Amino acid sequence: MSAIDFSDPATIAFLTDALTAAGVEGLEISRPDGQIRIVISGEGARITAPAATPRASHSPPVVVKAPLAGHFCAAHPAAAVTPQTLPRFVSDADILGFIRVGHVLLPLRAGHSGVLTRLLAEPGALVGFGDPLFEIELPS
């Protein structure tokens, strides 16, 4: 049996829906590589994943760059979630932020699985094509 990827948004959404349907108030899962806690309340679900300690890597970190010019958003503008702390584990499909051009939001995917260690641009800043936005340390 393969390990479940608890950094996958679809997995977290499935677990949240199952907990809500079952009337369960919460769930906490701990593994050597991390921990996730899902708490269900009247206002919806709250998901926390405590900061992970990055492992030393022999390769330089991967820099996620802006694919076009626009305003950098570290989170979806309509989201009512608190910003996640760094460092944290990310999968290659995770959305790290957005580039806003007018009313259009372009999601920024990690592109690599590893530990997101640094935010390199200020939220709301105007960024250009190729400007560095995030740093991800790859597992060794």
What pLDDT, on a 0 to 100 scale, did the predictor assign at position 51? 45
In angstroms, the CA 25 to CA 21 distance is: 10
- pTM of the full predicted structure? 0.57
Give the dihedral of Cα atoms 23, 79, 121, 89; nearest 10 deg.
10
In angstroms, the CA 13 to CA 6 distance is: 10
Structure token digits, residue 36:
């996730």
Give the dihedral of Cα atoms 107, 95, 135, 37; nearest 10 deg.
160
pLDDT tens sequence across 61-87: 999 999 999 999 988 888 776 667 889
pLDDT tens for the chain, residues 1 to 140: 566 776 666 777 777 778 778 887 777 776 666 667 777 766 555 555 544 444 445 678 999 999 999 999 988 888 776 667 889 899 988 999 999 998 889 999 999 999 999 999 999 999 999 999 999 999 87
Domain 62-137 listed as CATH 2.40.50.100: yes
Task: State the span(s) of the chain assigned CATH 2.40.50.100.
Answer: 62-137
